[in-house]
Structure 1
């Protein structure tokens, strides 16, 4: 079903809207949430809360990019759950991906704080716009969707090691780009 049709179901207050959202984006959203909270039960709870949040915000909103809208809600709720459960002993995908990016943000900068700064977001978006489609997809799958190296490799037909190496090179490019833009690395 097309996104506009799913959104229309929300506007009609049809419960089928949630079912269609789950059919179309459930797997992606569960993967995103699991990469952050690293617990199946918590992830399912986040997904249920996310569907409720989408239900409560449509209407009045009519998002232009429904997939991004849904993923943003899932990610934000997953991050809230992650913060709540931060006492986990084992690092989840989200923590690992943040550690990888911390080196690019500059000495002493917490990436959680830096990402909120509007200027840095614009600089990173410009950087992403200069990457090839494939490299941009790999970067976003790792650092926005918190995908594992195995998942990224499978989706792109490359090995885990190749995915890791490519991400390492992209991070180095980002580090140089940020330095060129005046960020202390």
Structure 2
């Protein structure tokens, strides 16, 4: 079924929309959630929450790119679940590494002012990723959007793990420089 047809089912409030979404994108969304959560029960709950949130957002929202719309919802919910479980118990793994890596170039979002500026920061980061050469953009997104581990990225792009690590380090440094220039970080 085409994305437009699935979206139309949501607008008609037809519960088949969720079934069709699961058939077409269930494995994709599961992969995103699993990269972040690495727990079958949490992943299943995240998928269910993704479908519920999609149901609540459509209508009125009519996504232009349905796959990206779903991915963003699943990712946000998985990160929320990860943070909630992490606050209960300190965990190890890929997500811990990713958050540590990004800590050096993403400002803390503790204050009210930071949360207000969050959308602008999101736009700056999206613009930064769009400005990267295609391969670097894919590597950056694989790590920091899809939460792939270094080994998976290495295999996906046919480069060494060391090359992936060095590339990500350079990309974070460039992002940090950009955020300093934009006034989000002190130099």
Into which bin does the TM-score normalised by the smaller protein fall? 0.7 to 0.9
Equivalent residue number for residue 80 of structure 2? 80
- Counterparts of 1:118 and 1:173, CA distance in 2: 20
Q: Counterpart in 1 of 2:153?
A: 152
Structure 1 position 112, deviation (Å)? 7.2
- Runs (4+) of structure 1 exceeding 4 A deviation are 111-116
Where does the alignment leave 5 or more consecutive residues of structure 1 unmatched? none
Write the mapping of 1:25-174 to structure 2, written as runs, cut at 5 A.
Answer: 25-86=25-86, 87-105=88-106, 109-110=107-108, 117-174=118-175
Q: CA–CA distance in 2 between the matches of 1:146 and 1:139?
A: 10
TM-score, normalization: structure 1?
A: 0.82
Aligned partner of residue 165 in structure 1, secondary structure: helix
SS in 1 for 2:62: coil
For 2:149 and 2:101, the matched residues in 1 are separated by 13
Query: Could you tell me which residue of structure 2 aligns to residue 4 of structure 1?
Result: 4
* Distance in 2 (alpha carbons) for counterparts of 1:42 and 1:28: 16
Separation (CA, whole Å) in 2 of partners of 1:85 and 1:98: 15
Structure 2 regions of 5+ residues with no counterpart? none
**Structure 1 position 111, deviation (Å):** 5.8
Aligned length: 182
